[in-house]
Amino acid sequence: MRAIVLSAGYGTRLWPLTEDRTKPAIPILGKPLVGYVAEYLASYGIDEIVVNLHHRPESVRRALGDGSAFGVKLHYVEEPVILGTSGALDNTREFFERETFVVVNGKIITDIDLRAALETHRSSNALATLVLLPNTRRERFSVVETEGGRVKKFAGMPVANDTSPLMFTGIHIMEPRILDYVPRGVFSDSVIHVYPQALANGEIVAAHVASGKWRELSTLKRYLDISIELLRESGQSLVAGERTSIASSATVNDSVLWDDVKVGAGARVSRAVLADDVTIPDGEVIENAVVVPRQLVEGKTRPEKALPGDFRGENFVVPL
């Protein structure tokens, strides 16, 4: 079975970490985010994977290589103009015209039982199956309304009186016939353009309500919070990349340090992300923030959805 890992987005809410790389290439405890997705698929025997690229494509190629380190064979397909979640399928039709395939968002870490979802898909005789989770904390993920094991429609954000809203995990299982609903040569989105048309035409879009861990890293705060969760699960308080040095008198906890980071004497770093090549001066205090080198973003325009920051010496600091 084949899969596509959607990796073409700009990751504007993760800026400035995505200034020099795309979101799926961001390291999570030393491993690229998209690497977790590749390993997840490989664990179910899905070892031939298409990765669509647009923003900073070389960053994903560097992070994944040929895929052998993650147990998969990769096919890279670049989009000169970004095509959206279903436009990516139009651009890779030749890979998916023969058999059932899986689509996974490249920004998640999960242990959801994909085998059970595949069983739901096959027993439902569905055109597509969406893997859903109960949104028990009513986070800002669109509500998916279901009935009798089928998707009815996609709604807005959960509200206080929603008893058990369901949210989409970014994992789909599809039959090749779904491509009949994907427009040719234009931007399109599965949830906005493809599924509503298929449902209106009487197609079965199954709802598989799963359980398990699911982490979605689409904002700076979520990236930091989830990294800290993973660190604590492994009994650690920080992760440090290659060639990183921390002065003996410095204090660093609940933080993520990428490569070539230097933390000076007496500095205090807490709940922070320090990107490649960041130097924290002696005595500096960084708390609840993301830090990148000044030269990475100086003169660049902050994306509309990105959080504001300020320059402090040779660093650019984004408070969280």
Contacts of 69 (CB under 8 A, 6+ apart): 35
Are 280 and 237 members of one domain?
yes
Q: Position 228: which residue type?
A: I
Q: Which range among 72-81, 124-133, 159-168, 274-283 shows the weakest confidence by mean pLDDT?
A: 159-168
In the chain, what are the helix, strand and coil shares in percent, each to the nearest 5?
A: 25, 30, 40
pLDDT of residue 313: 97
- Per the structure, the complete domain to which residue 174 belongs is given by 2-216
DSSP line for 217-242: --SHHHHHHHHHHHHHHTT-SEEE-T
Are 272 and 285 members of one domain?
yes
* Tally of domains within the chain: 2
Nearest Cα to Cα of residue 242 among 276, 271, 289 = 276
Are 89 and 228 members of one domain?
no
Are 239 and 111 members of one domain?
no
Boundary (domain end) residue, out of 153, 181, 216: 216
24/74 Cα distance (integer angstroms): 15
Are 249 and 140 members of one domain?
no
Are 30 and 163 members of one domain?
yes
Q: What is the pLDDT of residues 126-179, one digit of tens each?
A: 999 999 999 988 888 889 999 999 999 998 887 777 678 999 999 999 999 999
Are 79 and 182 members of one domain?
yes
Are 17 and 78 members of one domain?
yes
What tokens were used for 211?
Answer: 């359980």
For residues 175-190, average pLDDT = 95
Are 211 and 142 members of one domain?
yes
Query: Which CATH number covers residue 181?
Result: 3.90.550.10
pLDDT confidence band for 307 (50 / 70 / 90): very high
* E strand residue ranges, 158-201: 166-174
pLDDT of residue 278: 98
Query: Residue 48: is its pLDDT beyond 80?
Result: yes
pLDDT of residue 22: 87
pLDDT confidence band for 267 (50 / 70 / 90): very high
pTM of the model: 0.90
Are 248 and 207 members of one domain?
no
Are 309 and 265 members of one domain?
yes
Are 154 and 275 members of one domain?
no
Q: What is the pLDDT of residues 235-263, one digit of tens each?
A: 999 999 999 999 999 999 999 999 999 99
Boundary (domain end) residue, out of 216, 243, 261: 216
* Degrees, nearest 5: CA angle 292-298-299: 150
Boundary (domain end) residue, out of 167, 192, 216: 216
